[in-house]
Structure 1
């Protein structure tokens, strides 16, 4: 894929530091610049409220876990996407942002619920308590999509997101929570792992893998995010 010259990207990052928002987004900024984007960095959602600025943004890359968003900021974000600005993100940076806002959850189409962890007997209180082996399963229709074309199912050992979603998302890949002796659920649960969403003239791309830098360096994960950013951009 090659990008057009003269596009503008806003990389908005912050929130919970456990997802290394600065380091994670810096991995992808050279890719954006290579594809002709002028990249602006922000450490809060404040720019979303600047209508004149947002009108010139072609792509938002958001990595902001939890935190809060003000009504004017959310209104500006939604208006920009509705008018054609694209939005892309991974893991909690997009699917676990702004829990205070049901309208944000509606915009994105999927919300982190939990990441079931290891056997309690194996936990030590670290983030690794929630690192489990799982598979990202590409759907048949993903074979011809520009984000996932040529990518096969792949395995990870990291947080496996159980997400709550609606049926207005277009799912490209899923992951299935297994039944384990220590879990309270009684059947397997399949959640979207990669999805897109159309909103007005805009496009939204979400992938749930991406907890840590090593996951973002995984060939399939990185390729999917790079392609997803280009797909979402105006």
Structure 2
């Protein structure tokens, strides 16, 4: 039987799990462990996609159902002389909505620093164009929540060009049942597929055909489909 409470709990867990496209390995490992605990066989392919194999009543066809774990995000493009970070986009975020958002900078050695995404013209008292300035990716910066005043100060923290910048999902679940968050695309689908896997362990029936649930990792940048197994006949 489908457990909506479990689905909601798992959705909340993964929504709060940073997984910008290109930085999904931790969430894939979490998913793999959870489905192993349920008794399923899994494969991780060359693209880092997680395939969960569900035996069916027949092998005449092989079906696949997919959901993607990767989200929109940002990356450090360069470190400015004043200690702020310039950005490049991962996927296609709506950049005007990012002005004022809190974020986490994730370094190569797994350190995490908090910061705020801001317009380069961040104050109307200082910048006359604060209200009119576009909020394109080149117009946004990150102010790090550390005492940094120079590029060298930032580098001492271990922050480099190419480090991941994950902005907060802002998860809220209302008493009336509304779920409000960034990245419901596509983590809501991930949670539903996981709950189906749980449900299948409590029933004696099987899918009609062998089926793979594919949790993909690069949907937001539009590649990786070529690594789907050739024996899958329908998606």
Q: What TM-score does the superposition give when structure 2 sets the normalisation length?
A: 0.27
Query: Could you say which structure has the greater relative contact order, defined with CA pairs below 8 angstroms and 6 or more residues apart?
Result: 2
Which has a greater percent of helix? Answer: 1
Q: What TM-score does the superposition give when structure 1 sets the normalisation length?
A: 0.27
